Chain A
Amino acid sequence: MFEQTVPKTLCVAAVASGLALYAIFGGYFAREIAIEIALLAMLAVSLDVIAGYGGMVSLCHGAIYGVGAYGFGAMTALGGHPASLSALVAVALAAAFGLMVGALTANTAGIFFIMATLAFGQMAYTLVFESRALGGDDGLAGIERFDASSVGIDLGDSLQFTLLVIAAMVLAYALCAQLLRASFGRTLVGIGANEERMRALGLTTWRHKALAFSFSAAVAGAAGVLAAQHTQYISPDYLVWTVSGEALVVVILGGLGTLAGPLLGAVVLVGLKHLVGGWTDHWHLFVGLFLIGAVMAGGRGLYGQLEHVLAGRRARREEGR
C-alpha cells in the first residue's frame, strides 16, 4: 500500500531543489542535464505507478512518451494550433493509446505482458517512422513552447523553462501519489498483489487495469509534450523501445514500488551517462554492465534500501524502549 511518508516528501524535495539549484548556478549545459533528469524522472514515476503498484511492467512507455511529443509537435508545427490546446490534445492522445494497450494486454501476465507492450510500442514507432505527414525519420521541427508571457514568464529563456520542467516533475509525482492514496490506487495495489482475489471480490479487473494504464500514459505523454518543447524538434528516436527500457532501468535503480525512488534513479542514470560519455563514445557498454550488476545484486533500489535502513533503525529504537 502506498503512503506518502516523510522520507518520500524529503526525497522529492531534495531532488527538485537540487536540480533547481544546479540549473540556477550552473550554465546552459547544467540546465540541459537538469531537464533530461526531470523528464526521465517524470516518465519513470508514471511507469512506477503501474509497474510497482499494479504489477504491470510496461515496455512501451517510451513509445507513449513519443506519442505525447508527436501529438504536441503535429498540433503546433503542422496544425498551427496554440500550445495549450495542443498539449491537452497530446496528453489525451497518449491516454487513449494507453487505454488501448492496457485493455488489449489486460488478460496477459508476466512475460507475455512485457512482450505484448513491447510490440505495441514498436507499432507506434513504426507508424511514426513511416508516416510522411509526420516527417518520417527526418522528424518534425519548428515546435513552439508554451506562451506564459501574460504572467511574466519567458519560456524561451533556458533557466525559466528548466524550472517549469522541474515543477512539472513535482506535479507529476504529486498527481501519482494522490491517485495511489485514493480508492482507485488502493484497488490497483490490490490487483498488483492478487488479481484473482480482486476478481473474486467482484471487480472488473481488466477495466481497472486499462484505466490505470491510461492514467500512467497521460503522465508519460505530458513528459513527452515537455520534451518536444524542450528541443523544439522531435524524431522517431523518442519512441524507440530502448527508451522504455531506460525508464524501467531508472525505476529499478531507484526502487520499484517506492514512487520517490525513480527520481533518484533518474539522477544516477543521467549522471552516469554524462560522466562516462565524457571520456568514451561507448558509454552504453558501461551503462549495460552497471545495469546487469545492479539487477543481479538483487537490491531494493536506492530508495528502497534507504527505507529499509530507516525501518530497521525505527524497529531497533522501539525494541530498546
Chain B
Amino acid sequence: MSGIDFWLTQLLNAMQLSMLLFLLSIGLTIIFGLMHFVNLAHGALYMLGAYVGVSTAGAFDNYWLALLGAPLAVMLVGIVLYALIIRRMRRAGPMNQVLVTFGLIFVLVDLVRLVWGDIALGMEGPASLEGTLEVLGVRYPAYRLFVIGVGLGVLAVLALVLARTELGAMIRAGVENDAMAACLGIDVERLFFVVFCVGCALAGLAGAIAAPVFSATPSMATDILIPTLIVVVIGGLGSLAGAFAGSLIVGFIQTFGAVVLPGLASILVYVLLALVLVARPEGLLPARR
C-alpha cells in the first residue's frame, strides 16, 4: 500500500471509530446536559444492542431486521430501567447515580452472560454491503463505509430536530436552564424521558452496527464506556456539536496515535483530557455557558 493510500485508509478507520463514539456519546451528553443524570450503564446498553442484533440476525437471517430490532429492544429495556430506577434517582446527586448505574452494569453484563454465554459472538453484515468499495482510489470495506454513513445520517437528523423543531427547541431550553423551562410550561420530566429513550435506542443501534465489525462480547460494556465519557468531557455537556467534535478528536487520536506513536497512543487521549480539564474545565463546546 502506498503512502497516500495508507493514510486515507487510516482516515476512514478513524471516521468509523468516531461515528460509533458519536452514536454513544450523543445520548449520554444530552441526558447529562438536560438532567445532570449520569448513566454509567450506557455502555452496557450498547453491549445489549450488539447481542440482540446478533440473535435477531441469526433468527431471521436478515441484517436489516437486526438493525431495527436492536434499538427497539434496548429502548424497551431503557423504559423498564427508567420506570424502576432512573426516575427515582433523578434528584439523588451524582454519586448515588454513579453507584446505581454501576450496579446496573454488573446486572446487565451478568444477565447477558447467562443468556448468551461468555464467548464472543460474530455476526454477518448484510450481503449487499459485502466486499469493498473504492473511495478516492482506496479499496475500503463497504460495511465500514456504511457505519460512517449511519453516523453522519444520525448527526444530520439530530441537528435538524434540535435546530428546527419544537421538540428540539424545548430540549435546548431544558439544557440551558431546566427550572426556567419548567416555569414556561415545558414538561421537563417528560422531555427527559423522551431523550432518555432516544439515547438508549442510539446505544442499541451502535451495538448492532458494531457487532459485525468487532463481534459481541460482555467486555464491550466497559471497554466503550471510558472513551465515551472522555468524549463527553472533552466536548462539553449537552451539546450536539460538542459530542461530534469530541468523537472526532478521540477517534482520530486513537487511530492515528496507534500508527504514529504506537507506544504512546493509548495515553494520548488522557493527556488531551488533562489539558482540557486544566484549560477549559467546561469542555470545548458546552451547551450552557
List A residues at the B interface (Cβ < 8 Å): 51, 57, 59, 104-105, 107-108, 110-112, 114-116, 118-120, 122-123, 126-127, 130, 241-242, 245, 248-249, 252, 256, 282, 284-285, 287-292, 295-296, 298
Cβ contact within 8 Å between B273 and A285: no
Beyond A105-B277, A248-B99, whether A119 also contacts B270 by CB under 8 A is: yes
Say which residue of A105, A111, A245, A292 sits within 8 Å of B85 (CB atoms). A292
Most buried by B among A114, A249, A298: A114
Measured in the bound complex, the distance between the Cα atoms of B94 and A300 in whole Å is 16
Given contacts A110-B94, A114-B95, A116-B233, contact A284 B109 (CB under 8 A): yes
Which residue from chain B places its CB closest to the CB of A240 in the assembled complex? Answer: B222
Please pick, from B38, B85, B281, the residue contacting A296 in the complex, using a CB distance under 8 A. B85
Whether B277 lies near A104 (C-beta < 8 A) is yes
Knowing A285-B111, A295-B99, A296-B89 are in contact, say whether A115-B233 is a contact too (CB < 8 A).
yes
Instruction: Report 19 cross-chain contacts, Cβ distance below 8 Å, ordered by A residue.
Output: A57-B98, A59-B98, A107-B281, A111-B97, A118-B226, A119-B233, A120-B270, A122-B270, A242-B222, A245-B99, A248-B95, A248-B102, A282-B114, A285-B110, A288-B107, A289-B107, A292-B85, A295-B92, A295-B96
Contact with A along B82-106 (1 / 0, CB 8 A): 0001001100101111111011111
In B231-266, which residues have CB < 8 Å from any A CB? 232-233, 263, 266
| Interface status of B32 (Cβ within 8 A of chain A) | yes
Closest partner residue, chain B, to A129 (CB atom): B266
Please tell me which one of the listed residues B88, B94, B109, B277 contacts residue A114 in the complex, with CB atoms under 8 A apart. Answer: B94
Docked Cα-Cα span, A123 to B103, in Å, equals: 23
A112-B233, A114-B94 given; A282·B100 CB < 8 A? no
Do the beta carbons of A116 and B88 come within 8 Å of each other? no
Specify which chain A residues have a CB less than 8 angstroms from the CB of B94 in the assembled complex.
57, 110-111, 114
- Among the listed B92, B102, B113, B277, which residue makes an inter-chain contact with A298, where contact means beta carbons less than 8 Å apart? B92
A112 touches B281 (CB 8 A): yes
Assess the B85–A127 pair: CB atoms within 8 A.
no
Across-interface contacts of A291 in B (CB, < 8 A): 99-100, 102-103, 106
- How far, in whole Å, are A108 and B92 apart by their CA atoms in the complex? 19
A282 touches B85 (CB 8 A): no
Give the contacts of B47-95 with A (CB-CB under 8 A): 85, 88-89, 92, 94-95
Chain A residues with Cβ below 8 Å from B96 are 252, 295, 298
B109 to chain A, nearest CB (A): 7
CB distance from A249 to the nearest CB of B (A): 6
Task: Given contact pairs A114-B38, A119-B230, A292-B104, enumerate 16 new A-B contacts (beta carbons under 8 Å).
Answer: A108-B277, A114-B95, A116-B273, A119-B226, A119-B270, A122-B226, A126-B267, A242-B222, A285-B106, A288-B103, A288-B106, A291-B99, A292-B85, A292-B100, A296-B89, A298-B92
- B102–A245 touching, CB < 8 Å: yes
The residue on B at minimum CB distance from A115 is B229
With A114-B38, A282-B110 as contacts: A104 and B100 at CB distance below 8 Å: no
Q: How far is the CA of A17 from the CA of B227 in the complex (A)?
A: 44
Q: Is B274 an interface residue (CB 8 A)?
A: yes
Closest to A289 in B: B107
CA distance A245 to B95 in the complex (A): 11
Q: Is B1 an interface residue (CB 8 A)?
A: no
A111→B222 contact, CB < 8 A: no
| Complex alpha-carbon distance, A130 and B107, angstroms | 29
How far is it, in angstroms, between the C-alpha of A245 and the C-alpha of B41 when the chains are bound?
Answer: 13
Closest to A246 in B: B102
Check B232–A115 contact: CB distance below 8 A: yes
With contact pairs A120-B270, A241-B222, A242-B222 given, residues A287 and B89 touching in the complex (Cβ less than 8 Å): no
Asked whether, in the complex, the Cβ of A288 is within 8 Å of the Cβ of B273, the reply is: no
The answer to whether B38 and A111 touch across the interface, beta carbons within 8 angstroms, is yes
- Chain A residues with CB under 8 A of B278: 104, 107
A299 to B192, CA, bound (A): 26
Cα-based distance from A114 to B38 in the complex (angstroms) = 10
Chain A residues lying within 8 Å of B32, measured Cβ to Cβ, are: 111
Q: Which of A119, A130, A282 contacts B273 (CB 8 A)?
A: A119
* Contact partners of A123 in chain B: CB under 8 A: 267, 270
Query: In whole angstroms, what is the CA distance A248 to B270 when docked?
Result: 23
Q: Give every chain B residue within 8 A of A256 (Cβ-Cβ).
A: 95
A residues less than 8 Å from B99 (CB atoms): 245, 248-249, 252, 291, 295
Complex Cα spacing A110 to B32, Å: 12
With contact pairs A108-B281, A127-B266, A292-B100 given, residues A285 and B107 touching in the complex (Cβ less than 8 Å): yes
CB neighbours (8 Å) of B85 from chain A are 292, 296
Measured between alpha carbons, how far is A289 from B100 in the docked complex, in Å?
A: 9
Residues of B within 8 A of A119 (CB): 226, 229-230, 233, 270, 273
Digitize B206-239: 1 where CB-to-A-CB distance is under 8 Å, 0 elsewhere.
0000000000000000100010011011000000
Chain B residues closer than 8 Å to A127, beta-carbon distance: 266-267
